[in-house]
Amino acid sequence: MSTHDGAAQGATQDARGPLADLRVVEMGQLLAGPFCGQLLGDFGADVIKLESPGAGDPMRQWGREKPHGKSLWWPVVARNKKSVTCNLRTPEGQDLARRIIAEADIVVENFRPGTLERWGMDFDRLRAENPGLILVRVSGFGQSGPYAPRAGYGSIGEAMGGIRYVTGDPGNAPSRAGISLGDSLAAVFATIGALVAVHHRSNTGRGQIVDSAIYEAVLAMMESLLPEWAVAGYQRERTGSVLPNVSPSNVYPTASGEMILIAANQDTVFGRLAKTMGRPELADDPRFAGHADRGRNMAELDELISAWSATLGIEALLAALHEGGVPAGRIYTAKDMFDDPHFAAREAIVRLVHPDFGELPMHNAFPRLSESPGSVRHAGPGLGEHNREVYGSLLDLQEDEIAALAERGVI
């Protein structure tokens, strides 16, 4: 369990966040595990990221745009973390890792199941030295079952969990979102599991394993897909920009050439839309009067709304819809987010100073807490930037010992 000094915890939490009394060791790479570490770090946890000497996490190289030859993704997913190099494939590196873990509250890893065990870091051995340890394991298929040993990327979990099949246009192959959805969902559920395990430990003193599988994290978001098939014999299909029987809720044209999303599928809201359109009688039209009616006549209703929306520029259209109490909005790009006054007022985007990029914007820590908010304290660190701090202060290694480990390629 963490040896953070209890007397100093209150002050530390005030400075860093509500999880400042937790020490997290992040092992693994890319996104599914590290995003969990990022979320814990955003709320103040002391996240020590173990990376391979020389190369580090491949995320240091990922991303489409790389000014100065460096990733713009790394500063985000590694923010609020400390970087420590440790060669986990060597006995000396494994021993160092176990010594760090002995001082930790949580370990996050996303290796293929069995990897930690081969490295002499199975849970039984780790908790023999640290009974309160929480081991968060993120993988494609989980730690048990016939598929557990398989390599599992986020895209495979998205396919198996069901979201790929229902994403995209019905005439095309299944699509993917433009982000790593499966990895991120597994990390979010891993974070929830970690915090639940911390609460359980506060009541029992015992740590445990948190097993977050990518395919199950995706499955958890699939609403009523399973009972629809089992009870009603209905298989959800790809439906493009709409949801079956939910209308109106679609993307519509404007006179200025931009697209707008209007969501008015509730009866009262549709009445407000009809009034805003200058067609209040539509709310009483038998084709559109109820939710099921609008669902059956979705195409016809979308044509009526499109004919009206196309007569107005996007600003005039948004003004009319907002005044009428109808949910509507632009489909934002990154540029739109920077220009939006609501983003600015809520500080949804923060700006840090980065040694290579200068001012570096990124999304803030979410969700917002009124008494104990999270924060973005620094961008992703340089490889091994915190070696001396962690090996020297946490493990009490001397400078010559640290230098010798570096010389042998252990760190």
Active site amino acids: 183
CA-derived radius of gyration, the chain? 25
Burial of 341 (0-12, 13-18, 19+ CB in 10 A): exposed
Host H or E run for residue 101: helix 91-101
> Which pair of structure tokens corresponds to residue 371?
């008494």
Output the CA angle 352-355-360, nearest 5 degrees.
30
- What is the C-alpha separation between 312 and 252, in angstroms, rounded? 11
Q: Does residue 387 contact residue 402 with C-beta atoms inside 8 Å?
A: yes
Q: Does residue 50 contact residue 37 with C-beta atoms inside 8 Å?
A: no
- What is the C-alpha separation between 210 and 25, in angstroms, rounded? 14
Q: Does residue 34 contact residue 116 with C-beta atoms inside 8 Å?
A: no
